[in-house]
Amino acid sequence: MTNPATASTRVAVEFLTLWMESDRLGAAEHMERVLNDPNGPGAPSIIAGQCNLGMLLVLMLARERGADDLMETAHGILRDLSQDLPE
């Protein structure tokens, strides 16, 4: 049996992969189908998967930047990103 956290993270990878392709409308339609599928993983699981994927990616970025403390650096990256977003 697949670990639920792994399964939800795979859905997040699937969503992001589709989103990065040129057909954003198709990606959004697929996401809506999955979110509304009564036999699907459900929104809370999908959101948890997105958080898992985001955390993995920001920790990888912190590691690439040579961080001594991965979590502290990852938090700093997120703070900087949040502050740099347009209003």
- pLDDT confidence tier of residue 2, bands split at 50, 70 and 90: confident
CA distance 56 to 9: 10
pLDDT digits (tens, 9 = 90+) for 10-66: 999 999 999 999 999 999 999 999 999 999 999 999 999 999 999 999 999 999 999
Which pLDDT score, from 0 to 100, does residue 16 have? 97
Which pLDDT score, from 0 to 100, does residue 1 have? 76
Which pLDDT score, from 0 to 100, does residue 29 have? 97
Compute the C-alpha angle 33/35/40, nearest 5°.
90
Tokens standing for residue 10: 């795979």
